[in-house]
Structure 1
């Protein structure tokens, strides 16, 4: 039994050794990594090296090709480029013209593919294949997957629910772009911008922050950070929790209703005032119209009496049936109109008498004022005349005293003065 096991082990070792020796004598194509991750918009290089069965002298034909296949199952393979070593010609397919190039060195076995400004469409599996006539054994191709990373876009923060006392609300945070998909984290600060711990029932999952039974203490600033392995982006919002009675919409509605009611009230008051003024004018003009109607001549054979009643004898004679009732009805109507006219006439006379009294009182006061003014003017004129007289007298006296004594004329001697006697003699 032991000998049998020993023989099987030797046979397995010989088989593995033969396989290794056969691989050494065949072409080997190799891409160092199976996965490459790069940021969208970068310029990258996918390395590829090959080792032929025998060293190449430069005269052999070597064909190098790169192709790409979608990562999903059943995706179509797309040829990117093909290089021919003899004429050193590289053919690039139309989707990749201007976006790829080949860094090739046949002697050293280098066939690197360069991609410029990679996009999300470059999330594919790339294959490097080398073909040498007469070297068909071995590993003629190798693959690697390219993952294009995208930084998170600036997230959008929103509030779901009514921000009122006792309500449950959600704060949402979402980035439209990001590969790998970003993770979200919420931070909270109070109204004084001081960091604080979340409430015990608060949950933060998948960019949704759930707040339960919110109150005044829930108000503050909330910051959401969206991040992946490339970088992060943030958004923030301000939460102001208000009582239900202080809702902005209802408050605005109440204020609008009050303003509308005030406007309607002002319009009604203005209309009432205008109507009252119009009635007063019509009432004042009505007296004159009634007087004019009383003096109007009879028209179409009708006559008017002094009391304003119409003479309808002709019509009553023409239609005797029911004339008594119509006559009484017209009489009562004319009597009521006449009585209304008398009342308005009496009111008009009273107002006219009151106006005449006020006018007479005004004329009396005006006359009294005129008399007082005339007396004051006479008094001022006399006083001014006296002042002028006194002033002239003082000037005359001052002129007399100012004259020199020698210039004065000697007093005249009366003609009948007796002669002087000398009593000494």
Structure 2
């Protein structure tokens, strides 16, 4: 079989396939198709979307091809209209918003239309639609769609803490990127205070960049990193979480510390005042207690009531035994007073002497009690005073030891001062040498300057002498000129005389 025969067979097969498609299209109607279901392009790059169509009739007077985009789901978005092709005059009507930004190329013979976006933006990140309208050919698939994905790298996400980072609270860590296409996915990672990776606490949830932490504690503190990733690249942000005790903020902490310091200061002041009060010397009152005595009552008062006289004789208490004795003495005296007036005077004298003897007894008892009281009180105070003297002696010993320590330190300081003074003396010796050298150098300079001044004075004197000599010569010259003038005058007078 020759090569030409083979080519003829291939042509026949192609024609048969074309006739078959024609028959199928004629039987089923218009067919519109976009080869790819998804087109991906980086933002700012160019992309071309191709749409093919197969009409029912091979020949059509008018074919209208429209390129549009569906709404992206936002509230005020109604979709996009790129442009429309008309086959009757091969005219393309481009939307004013895309004038110069897109290009629509359509060929009715090859039944292909191409939409070219010169610089893709996020606005075109949606479903693109190709629609073919042929009058009289409305049966079949007249529209084809595809997804245009404009790839944009995620922007640097922003990490924030929602809630109060205190013990036993629930908080959320959010991570959001303002840009990113397709939408980035977020992943959180946790590190402890030693920068060691760790797992999340129990009951932690992570969804769409939100990390929810429940019943947090000091163990929850650490570093958290969020990474946003899409097909282009990834970006991350981090934050430091410091969980503090409940209501432990700066203001309350400062207030607590200030209150503690104030309380300590007041306590120290009270202790200091108490110690000062204890160290204050006690004033010893060496005088005996004052007991006031009164003279005995008159006889008339004794007759009226000896008990009242006894009460007025001494200020102080009388024990029950003495009261009983006084009562016993009072009864016979009353009986004796009833016997008659003849014994009144004797009884009065007896009572007076008896009362005086009892006053003496009371006075002696009071003296004994006063002596015992004063002796015991003086002994106690003397012992207390001796204790204070011992304490003062111990303080003197401490003071002497402190004085000895101070003297030792002062001696060591004096030795150090002497060493420093010796160092100053050694340091002054080079200074003295330097001064001697400087003085000798100054003397030499003064000698040289004096010799120079003398030499200059000699030169000046010689110069002055020369000037004086010249001035003398001028004087002689002037005198000579005067003489010559006088001679000329004489010569003139002589000539005048001769002429006459």
Q: TM-score, normalised by structure 2?
A: 0.39
Q: Which has the higher contact order (CA 8 A, sep 6+)?
A: 1
Higher-helix-fraction structure: 2
Please tell me whether Structure 1 or Structure 2 has the larger radius of gyration of its CA atoms: 2
Q: TM-score, normalised by structure 1?
A: 0.45
